[in-house]
Amino acid sequence: MESFFLYSAVLLTIIIAVPLVRVIKGPSVLDRLLATNAIASKTIVLICLIGFLFGRIDMFIDITLAYAILGFVGSLIIAKYISLEKKEPEDGN
């Protein structure tokens, strides 16, 4: 069971590396922000799997909860700040 968690963590790391392409070449700021949000929400599962690998899941769950709440609040505040900016005339995407 330990080796299965190890292999699934490696596979999940490869999956997390895919939206970095959208972060680098995204046309607008919101595309980059959306890809960053995707990376942050997949990292939660990765931290849980690493906690089961180390055998200290009671400590890693608290780290996971704090990380999830921080990422959610940051994403909401940046979205609010972008929507309050001055409206651009054309050429959004």
Partner 1 sequence: MEIKSIFVIFFVLVGIFFMLIGSIGILRLPDFFSRTHAISKSDTLGILFVVLGLIIHDGTLVNSLKLGLIMIFIALANPIGSHALANAALKKGMKPLLHKKKKEN
Which residues bind to partner 1, rule: CB under 8 A? Answer: 1, 4, 8, 11-12, 15-16, 18-19, 21-22, 28, 30-31, 33-35, 37-38, 41-42, 44-45, 48-49, 52, 57-58, 61-62, 64-65, 68-69, 72, 75-76, 79-80, 82-83, 85, 87-90, 92-93
Residue 67 C-beta: closest distance to partner 1, Å: 10
Concatenated DSSP letters of 56-89:
-HHHHHHHHHHHHHHHHHHHHHHHHHHHTSPPP-
Residue 2 C-beta: closest distance to partner 1, Å: 11
How far is CA 90 from each of CA 5, 83, 87, 93, rounded to the nearest angstrom? 48, 16, 9, 9
